[in-house]
Chain A
Amino acid sequence: MTLSKRHLLSIADLTPGDVALIFQTAKSLKEISRRPVKKVPTLRGKTVINCFFEPSTRTRTSFEIAAKRLSADAVNFGSTGSALAKGESLIDTIRTLNAMQPDALVIRHRGSGVPALCAAQVRDCAVINAGDGQHEHPTQALLDAFTVAQAKGRVRGLTVAFLGDIAHSRVARSGIALFRKLGAKVLVAGPRSLLPVAVEALGAAAMPSIAEAVALADVLVVLRVQLERLQGAGVPTLREYARHFGLNAVTMKQAKPDVVIMHPGPINRGVEIDPELADGRYSLILDQVENGIAVRMACLYLYCHERLLHH
Chain B
Amino acid sequence: MSGDQIQEIFPYRAAWQEPPSGPTVAEPEEAPLTGKEPRHLLSEADMDHAIEQIARRILSDVGEAGDVMLLGIRTRGVPLAEWIAAKVKKLSGHPIPVGSLDINLYRDDLSEVDRQPIVRQTELPIPIEGRGIILVDDVLFTGRTIRAALDALVDYGRPRFVRLAVMIDRGFRELPIQAEYVGKTVATTLKENVKVMLKSIDGANRVVIKEQK
Contact = CB atoms under 8 A, between A and B. Distances in A.
A40 B116 CA distance: 17
Contact of A309 (B1, B114, B120): B114
Contact of A16 (B5, B111, B118): B5
Interface string A5-41: 0000000000011011101110111011001010111
B122 interface: yes
Contacts, number: 86
Contact of A153 (B12, B29, B119): B12
A302 B27 CA distance: 17
A28 B106 contact: no
Interface of A: 1-2, 16-17, 19-21, 23-25, 27-29, 31-32, 35, 37, 39-42, 70, 145, 149-150, 152-156, 182-183, 301-302, 305, 308-309
Contacts of A39: 155
B9 A42 contact: no
Interface string B91-131: 00000000000100110001100111111111000000000
A155 B110 CA distance: 32
Contact of A154 (B6, B105, B118): B6
Given A29-B119, A42-B105, A154-B10, A305 B110 contact: yes
A286 B44 CA distance: 49
B114 to A, nearest CB: 7
Interface in B4-22: 4-13
Nearest to B107: A42
Given A152-B12, A154-B4, A182-B6, A42 B118 contact: no
Question: DSSP majority for the B interface?
Answer: loop
A153 B10 contact: yes
A308 B155 contact: no
Contacts of A305: 110, 116
Nearest to B120: A28
B121 A31 contact: yes
B156 interface: yes
* A-B pairs, 5 with minimum CB distance: A153-B12, A20-B5, A28-B119, A42-B105, A40-B105
